Amino acid sequence: MQASVRSQKASKDFIPGGTTLNDFSVQAVKRIREDFEIDGTFTLEHWKAPVYLPGSQTVTSTTIQITWFPERKIGF
């Protein structure tokens, strides 16, 4: 399991109006059987960039990956 947090700002002197970005994400990987694994990630972002869009914006994303590890039956 992994979690991360980021807070980032750009000055009003660099970008008109300045910008702010805060995000949080969590990732978990679980092997459910010898040959199957599930990997899931959830991310939540809050950002303000008045030069692009007025007000505070929120973005969420979720990904799920299922991996199958087939057994090798070929011998050399």
- On whether the CB atoms of residues 61 and 38 are closer than 8 A, the answer is no
User: Are β-strands 36-49 and 53-68 bridged in parallel, bridged antiparallel, or unpaired?
Assistant: antiparallel
Q: Each residue of 27-59: pLDDT tens digit?
A: 999 999 889 999 999 999 999 988 888 899 999
**Euclidean distance between CA atoms 29 and 38, whole angstroms:** 6
pTM above 0.85, yes or no: no
Residue 12 backbone phi and psi in degrees, to 5: -65, -25
**Euclidean distance between CA atoms 7 and 2, whole angstroms:** 17
Domain edges within the chain? 2-68
